Structure 1
């Protein structure tokens, strides 16, 4: 029987009441008395030298408080990058300055040149349009390979070239991998593109800066996934504000998907301008602004080679990737194609030799950073696509090829420097076969053929690294911040509990699932537990929410703090019961003396903690509040197997997803309903990448997909009802909850499943096509089919169809 409360139960999300009734408190809902509004004048060219800016007319317009340009920020710090990568030559990456407002040059369409602060948004916008800017156009570099060619125009004049770093991993494996591929019985090669994406959370970014004259204190209200990190980066490295004088508040946040992790120039501007203008300053992004100012995701071009022996065992993997950084380095951008990507290239398989080369490239485009999955989807897509191609070349079943090479013994140290602690990949594949009814696929294919459609089946396995840690390791890898998490558990006199967490919720359901953990530990009703997050003034220093770390890292900190509370409460209970605290048990909200019927209720003990009339004062202080910081010993490693069935219309190239199933191993599951919802959302985003979404630029750096007229998002009609299962649970061995994380899985496992299914469908119709780059729009699929027909159904060996860089 399903549980009604505690860990493993599925109570409805308590936060949804306010969200669904319009009572959420988002950043744009915050209006401070006397606030002004800012409008940014953004570059409409991708690359150019600013020769003059005339703000006189704009500054004299009605309602204008002040006009700012890059000159106002001379002496102000650069927007910092939070991760340094060292190249295979031993040199640190090239790290250009990133000014709050452009200084000297503009480097991408959307680069902010000037900003107008005015009494109303309309006045600020009108005045911004009156600013006269003269820009000398310079050649734009958009294609990554062209950007690193000799003689290419440099995005940053003070850098040696446009190559941020040339990273090799594991460099000691390189020669052995080359030899293994040379000596292999079979080598499959595939070139592919991981298309650039725009995150598109429901709530655009907003920032409200406030400065208090009497105290010289600053407050920034912002749409952020990690307010403490924003306070640290902006205060220490950009504006020079001591942390104790700067408060950052992230209230309800309407989705993030990674794009709200980073510190953005607009946040620094509003905070700076609040003092300069002596009044609060607010900025709310329009959707078109978001397209050219929010960090984009993915954008990799890769060649991958898989070597196999005569028995079809994987012997080596070699990849070469060009990863787009855009015009500037966003907060965690350097880590995404390296440590979050290269370390996952073993996947679920026993591959003894792996070498990953990544060239990170500056281009005249919007900066690229983490997007749901962050490096893990890119690694999985490469590996799972080349395995499918290898199975087709060898004439073997793609599922059996995967099964043959599964890792089956744990812990397992991969050749790319990580150790998987637990997993059961055959079990998730077995579960997938059951819930997807793979045995019935042939019959369904015949039904589709009878309707004139081609049906294909695509299967994919994935593993990801979540809860990135520990701090001492990531510090060695280039992280400029710790990756621990924190929690304070405050018990009130009447027994209610307030948990202040450094994690942040922007759709994950923390206010529901976190209380389930605390309530189960103590044996009280979940309604007695309140979660507080998002305000640096009343939460302990934490690293925020991303990388599926909330329950594995934030939840573990919460458990450790609660354990301290319980241990102290046991001492108080022991005093009240005249027993030794070592004999005290806590169960179902009561402290009992083991082996007796003597007990005292949770509420009586908590009251005694604050009304210490009968209290062991000589031993412990009054009160019941504890803080814990938790730094994980290792990543967690969720894994799973996905299956997608599609129909392809041979007349039009239209792809329709008919069935989709996901079997995931998330370790112990706190709230199955919330986990299922996370998987559903991830699959939807992965399907969007596979079939619809594509952020593209022309050769001059103009953003061609700058609105929903040109950028296609998945709708409900594009998706079937998903079948999801997370009953295959191998608990994590190194955190107190045995959890692994679930938020990114769907976005990792779905793109290769969809593409594998489409390629299978085309083969069933006689089109011997090995690969089509995402998104598999009808025009791309139709072009691939007609191209294959014109070539007599010849195999497009190693060729990407429609894969623009």
Structure 2
């Protein structure tokens, strides 16, 4: 049997569709207390006092906590890059003497009932002297200033026949998963041990951070695997609440629960994206790229949170994309302003950089008089040039573009768009007098970040297989994929494989699910562990059947002698033979049919793709509709094609939101202007087209045994770029669209510049 590459139905769906999922807010404990966070109503100010007496007297309130009650703790950076120390800009658990953004935690109310906690929180009196507010990125404090690049950029621009330069802004937006954050922490009154439900994404890291901040051994903290209603980068990082709730549970010796509401989420969870680019490209007389340079201002909000400067670093490191760029110079300044702090959001840094680069290429194509697709084809690295090393590093690894055929995928994408009638529909819309346009964007992604992932595979005496993975289930189908990988290695049905993700007791060395690494790194660890179990099973079966290992083969959950169908043992029987006391177990030989294996990564793998967007612009209202959308994506090897397609389609939905609708705006006082879904606009089914998907497996990744590349972010990476290009084409603009999202207001402002 082979299951890799098959469209196996998702194992998760049976329980989720029947309402049997285990989400954080589904968990309750007898006698639990409820938490409500008191947040700053102003963007910047000096705290004179936090009066809690009135709130404390409310019937049912157990405790009101301020910074004065807490140990001095700040949220650490999870990934430190570029050797830049951000300690002076870390966020305290509760604001001490200064608040720096609307929504910053100032106090916590603990009560017997969630409604009492919320009512009492409104009685906490904050006396804050307002200070000057900075909302403009260029006026912020510089937290980091660094450069990435290679080659002689200055000489390339001197030698250039054509120089194209522009400015471009990417607006601030973020993920809004269906389920906001939630935490339930149970405590053992005797030992003080904590059972935590609600930490997703990187549970082992969060466990270790919490242990350090609490001053306890990490073995006293057990983070339980749960379901999550979406992650997208923002969920599962270590936030102030991830310390507050466990600390309160230990202090009060009772279970404590906190559930974030949507209004909190929109001002408290990590924002992302906001950048201003001044970018230029140098070309020779034939339109061949000689160099690129980019000067970026990155608005990081009020603090450096757990992601540190990962997003700005990725912006620069990935900005040359899949193109042949002989010289590149990038500078980025990370600015602190009085806004919600920023972190990663699906395709961090790449959504931004891809939008800017691809818009620059569109402008350049028009100025050079070259077809947009032809300009890209001319400058894409070809298959003979891969692997391709760039003298830059990101996330602690050198940038080495591994395998691929970028030109080939571009040609396939354009052929597929023609087959599906994209250009014919464009011509038809224009013939009807509509303002329609087509956008094309080529992008490079990254996936499979290390340094490692660890997995356990074990077989029970019934023949059932169990996998303990360090990944976490965020809706991406990781249980199904890991079951397929395991089943393929052991030659069993995926139905007998149970996958448990993100349980720190069962898998204490897991690195989590983020950066499109679950299948690449986690899957490879599972693959290694399953192969080790298979080898062990064959070894034991040879003793049981008294034949050479070379004469054995796996057969649908059993191991038998080649050419002798009646001579075999099941995996369950082998597992029994591995138990202590078995006559087949050698002295001092480890018991059990199980293996733990670690897969280590030195270099990431780089998937890539093409987006094609057809838009129809209403010149009167500025409304942009997207009737057709195509994603072509190179996956290396698709473990489950249906899940790959689902990831890409979901990414497009979020990408359209960021390209056209979603934006966090602030007024001059730093007050957020999008605190409900009345103002923070999400795309609905009415705004989303049927997404056409072309998945190719032409370039297996050489860096892992499965040949896989990540699929989690490619549907989003180039959405802003493709839609910006399509709107520019529709309006026939001489320059760039200048800013995302392309709200109706902004599009109306652009219509006067176009000629169509």
TM-score of the pair, normalised by structure 2: 0.96
Q: What is residue 12 of structure 1 aligned with on the other side?
A: 9
Alpha-carbon distance between aligned partners in 1 of 2:421 and 2:4, rounded to the nearest angstrom: 36
Alpha-carbon distance between aligned partners in 1 of 2:462 and 2:426, rounded to the nearest angstrom: 63
Residues 602 and 86 from structure 1, CA distance in 2 versus in 1: closer, same or farther, beyond 3 angstroms?
closer
Q: What is residue 740 of structure 1 aligned with on the other side?
A: 709
Cα deviation for residue 29 of structure 1 reads 0.7
Alpha-carbon distance between aligned partners in 2 of 1:282 and 1:588, rounded to the nearest angstrom: 46
Determine which of 214, 217, 220 is the counterpart of 1:239.
Answer: 214
Q: What is residue 428 of structure 1 aligned with on the other side?
A: 409
Q: What is residue 78 of structure 1 aligned with on the other side?
A: 74
Cα deviation for residue 516 of structure 1 reads 1.0
Determine which of 161, 164, 172 is the counterpart of 2:143.
Answer: 164
Indicate the RMSD between aligned Cα atoms, in angstroms: 1.9
Determine which of 720, 725, 734 is the counterpart of 2:694.
Answer: 725
Alpha-carbon distance between aligned partners in 2 of 1:621 and 1:542, rounded to the nearest angstrom: 23
Query: Given the alignment of the two structures, is residue 221 of structure 1 paired with residue 197 of structure 2, yes or no?
Result: yes
Q: What is residue 115 of structure 1 aligned with on the other side?
A: 108
Residues 281 and 618 from structure 1, CA distance in 2 versus in 1: closer, same or farther, beyond 3 angstroms?
closer
Q: What is residue 782 of structure 1 aligned with on the other side?
A: 748
Alpha-carbon distance between aligned partners in 1 of 2:234 and 2:473, rounded to the nearest angstrom: 14
Cα deviation for residue 701 of structure 1 reads 0.9
Determine which of 80, 105, 128 is the counterpart of 2:121.
Answer: 128
Cα deviation for residue 413 of structure 1 reads 1.4
Q: What is residue 333 of structure 1 aligned with on the other side?
A: 308
Structure 2: any 5+ residue segments left out of the alignment? 393-397
Alpha-carbon distance between aligned partners in 2 of 1:212 and 1:600, rounded to the nearest angstrom: 45
Alpha-carbon distance between aligned partners in 2 of 1:49 and 1:400, rounded to the nearest angstrom: 57
Alpha-carbon distance between aligned partners in 1 of 2:357 and 2:679, rounded to the nearest angstrom: 30
Cα deviation for residue 596 of structure 1 reads 6.9
Q: Residues 92-491 of structure 1: matches in 2 within 5 Å?
A: 92-93=85-86, 95-147=88-140, 162-170=141-149, 173=151, 176-236=152-212, 238-338=213-313, 340-408=314-382, 409=384, 410-416=386-392, 417-437=398-418, 440-469=421-450, 471=451, 484-491=452-459
Contact 1:79–1:234 at 8 Å: present in 2 too? Answer: no
Query: Given the alignment of the two structures, is residue 712 of structure 1 paired with residue 681 of structure 2, yes or no?
Result: yes
Cα deviation for residue 559 of structure 1 reads 0.8
Contact 2:613–2:626 at 8 Å: present in 1 too? Answer: yes
Residues 441 and 6 from structure 1, CA distance in 2 versus in 1: closer, same or farther, beyond 3 angstroms?
closer
Cα deviation for residue 725 of structure 1 reads 1.2
Residues 442 and 124 from structure 1, CA distance in 2 versus in 1: closer, same or farther, beyond 3 angstroms?
closer
Contact 2:472–2:501 at 8 Å: present in 1 too? Answer: yes
Contact 1:222–1:267 at 8 Å: present in 2 too? Answer: no
Alpha-carbon distance between aligned partners in 1 of 2:549 and 2:517, rounded to the nearest angstrom: 34
Determine which of 570, 575, 578 is the counterpart of 1:609.
Answer: 578
Q: Deviations over 1:319-350 (max 9, x none)?
A: 11111221111111311111x22221221111
Alpha-carbon distance between aligned partners in 2 of 1:460 and 1:603, rounded to the nearest angstrom: 52
3-state SS of the aligned residue for 1:565?
helix
Alpha-carbon distance between aligned partners in 2 of 1:304 and 1:94, rounded to the nearest angstrom: 30
Alpha-carbon distance between aligned partners in 2 of 1:52 and 1:244, rounded to the nearest angstrom: 38
Q: What is residue 474 of structure 1 aligned with on the other side?
A: none
Alpha-carbon distance between aligned partners in 2 of 1:36 and 1:94, rounded to the nearest angstrom: 33
Q: Deviations over 1:679-700 (max 9, x none)?
A: 0000111111111111111122
Alpha-carbon distance between aligned partners in 2 of 1:322 and 1:768, rounded to the nearest angstrom: 25
Q: Deviations over 1:378-433 (max 9, x none)?
A: 22122211111111111111111111111112211134341112001122112212
Cα deviation for residue 604 of structure 1 reads 3.2
TM-score of the pair, normalised by structure 1: 0.90
Contact 2:291–2:328 at 8 Å: present in 1 too? Answer: yes
Contact 1:427–1:728 at 8 Å: present in 2 too? Answer: no
Higher mean alpha-carbon deviation, 610-619 vs 11-20, is at 610-619
Query: Given the alignment of the two structures, is residue 501 of structure 1 paired with residue 478 of structure 2, yes or no?
Result: no
Alpha-carbon distance between aligned partners in 2 of 1:309 and 1:197, rounded to the nearest angstrom: 37
Determine which of 16, 20, 24 is the counterpart of 1:23.
Answer: 20
Q: What is residue 67 of structure 1 aligned with on the other side?
A: 64
Q: What is residue 802 of structure 1 aligned with on the other side?
A: none
3-state SS of the aligned residue for 1:683?
helix
Q: Deviations over 1:609-630 (max 9, x none)?
A: 2376441414733311111121
3-state SS of the aligned residue for 1:113?
strand
Query: Given the alignment of the two structures, is residue 627 of structure 1 paired with residue 596 of structure 2, yes or no?
Result: yes
Q: Deviations over 1:150-206 (max 9, x none)?
A: xxxxxxxxxxxx211101113x64xx2122123211111121112111210000101
Alpha-carbon distance between aligned partners in 2 of 1:365 and 1:662, rounded to the nearest angstrom: 34
Contact 1:501–1:532 at 8 Å: present in 2 too? Answer: yes
Contact 2:355–2:724 at 8 Å: present in 1 too? Answer: no
Contact 1:66–1:116 at 8 Å: present in 2 too? Answer: yes
- Across the two proteins, how many residue pairs are aligned to each other? 748
Alpha-carbon distance between aligned partners in 1 of 2:445 and 2:182, rounded to the nearest angstrom: 31
Q: What is residue 614 of structure 2 aligned with on the other side?
A: 645
Contact 1:762–1:768 at 8 Å: present in 2 too? Answer: no
Cα deviation for residue 719 of structure 1 reads 1.2
